Structure 1
């Protein structure tokens, strides 16, 4: 009976299967003991085994395994040791292989790396030896089941309170917004908060490689990519999903992350009447966003002049996030346009260090206020 839990064949879910198995065995267990047994069995069958308690912790965003006794977690303030022993290197490899199988992927000597999504939404990346000399490596990122509100972001010092009106105005006035930042700076967190501000009568279509956006909104249609099968067929990439989203009567099109040729479809959508779009982009600062867009668009065969014209015509604002000393915060607000030579540029309208008062560039800030104010 428990074997059917992993395959989703048991009515009532894992808890019901465990209770039925205990009943059939003739054993008598108290409610607390039965609950503990159920949690342990579910963790081993359809969860992350000994790592499951860490993933169940609502403060944990990432769990990293570098070896049997080298487990780290990130609770938003930087990495810290978990103090967990997973046994032997063979146990870690076995756990990685089982988790990959739960995500519908293969992980072995022939395919030593994997990206997968576990049944609970957790994102898995795993690497086996000999690519990882010390043994199997696992990187797990949890799926946040609830989007933060702007007030909660302010409480966490991720957003200065004076910018809440600006952020709300950008969404309500249907600005096309690009959220930029490095890895782990909170781009998806901010994007989900922005989407939660979209009026409830609007249809939001999200396009992601693997689903991470769970905004508080009544009409969200998620689309996720599909990898090719073992025969190399059946792949559906981000660019194709964006094209399909355009035919689904969207009020807002949201791209979880621009990382390749799909940036062409996003820019075209924003230039053809699909206002209020949002996307994220990896970048180190507001000033380097044009170079990042040009590099990605080049993968789609777009010349530099076309990128400048499309981006300046389609994008309005860049919200840039930074992470310093374990704190994630909105550091810069940039206005997209073209310089005197016609080159794409993003001018910083306001900046914040995550602690003190924010500063503004008078002329650019005033232009931002004229276009999207008052707030």
Structure 2
């Protein structure tokens, strides 16, 4: 599909994100820095025509009564568009490219996103089928890390992905990709994440992968984990592992269940095992900064046990952050004895040297 002036930016491997603030102002992110590009469109009509083509190909509509929407290109590029009058200055669009240069954990290790020791630990956790949430801000690489770990799913596993806009590329033979649907112009036909999770439970999944958890569907995800669907992976926004817990509590409350906070915390602790937190540092590089176990309840609060922490040592003369993601444990994780028996982990995994 020819995307007109945008094609040049999509084909540029140095560009990771395209930000459109109308036809004449198109910014790009290169190497973690946002700059104004030389690409423009002649008019709003030309720009909207190109974007409509993309949405039509993915089976979605844009324009008329649909003033904002998400979709994906075939290569995994995520697209969000919002139109006037919601966007006061006209068409606004964000295209976040899927990096073709990153195909697995090995590439992330080479980039310094995480250490070999941390990667080995996460591989063991994936093979051991514990439940993991990947947290962080927008565009930090949560989904990329999840996809890297998906290479370590069992070959015979039936995997079901659930997303608002299908973008996950999971290398699995027995894979089902589910995507939400907006209501039509009569307000009918909406299919939500909650609907899809409930239906996925009837499809005999070995793993459920949540593209992003941001609302009341958190309770459905947790209930799926509680009913024997181990190995569930999900993505959530949050500023730290502690913040993720607070957000989960809020999202579960959004479901309208009459549950005290103490019960909600027990549900979280009994189902989710690990939080992997990713950040974009001030130099633009993306790093795993925490791998944290959700260990239990202590003094009525969720007790978090940091297993790996990014140690920021200094900032060099070029402004690059120098540091290392390394083991930093007070307690071995509760699943450690089980993983030892399975031959997945030993105490060497947590040695600091």
Normalised by the size of structure 1, how large is the TM-score? 0.80
Q: Which has the higher strand share?
A: 2
Does structure 2 retain, via aligned residues, the 8 Å contact 1:144–1:212? no
Q: Describe the shift of the 1:112–1:274 C-alpha distance in structure 2 as closer, same or farther (beyond 3 A).
A: closer
Match in the other structure for 2:288: 330
Instruction: Give 1:97 shift.
Output: 4.5
Q: Describe the shift of the 1:244–1:112 C-alpha distance in structure 2 as closer, same or farther (beyond 3 A).
A: closer
| Structure whose alpha-carbon radius of gyration is higher | 1
* Farther-moved stretch of structure 1 (353-362 vs 65-74): 353-362
Could you tell me how far apart the structure 1 residues matched to 2:162 and 2:333 are? 33
Could you tell me how far apart the structure 1 residues matched to 2:218 and 2:74 are? 29
Does structure 2 retain, via aligned residues, the 8 Å contact 1:349–1:368? no
Match in the other structure for 1:112: 67
DSSP-derived class of the 1:228 partner:
coil
Match in the other structure for 1:308: 265
For structure 2, list consecutive stretches of 5 or more residues without a partner in the other structure. 313-320, 340-344
Aligned-residue Cα RMSD (Å) equals 2.5
For structure 1, list consecutive stretches of 5 or more residues without a partner in the other structure. 1-41
1:130-169 to 2 correspondences below 5 Å:
130-143=85-98, 148-169=103-124
* Farther-moved stretch of structure 1 (307-316 vs 52-61): 52-61
Match in the other structure for 1:27: none
Could you tell me how far apart the structure 2 residues matched to 1:106 and 1:150 are? 36
Q: Describe the shift of the 1:340–1:232 C-alpha distance in structure 2 as closer, same or farther (beyond 3 A).
A: same
Normalised by the size of structure 2, how large is the TM-score? 0.84
The answer to whether 1:363 aligns with 2:340 is no
Could you tell me how far apart the structure 1 residues matched to 2:114 and 2:273 are? 20
1:46-195 to 2 correspondences below 5 Å:
48-75=3-30, 77-108=32-63, 110-118=65-73, 122-143=77-98, 148-195=103-150
The answer to whether 1:215 aligns with 2:170 is yes
Could you tell me how far apart the structure 2 residues matched to 1:258 and 1:276 are? 16
Match in the other structure for 1:10: none
Instruction: Give 1:96 shift.
Output: 4.0
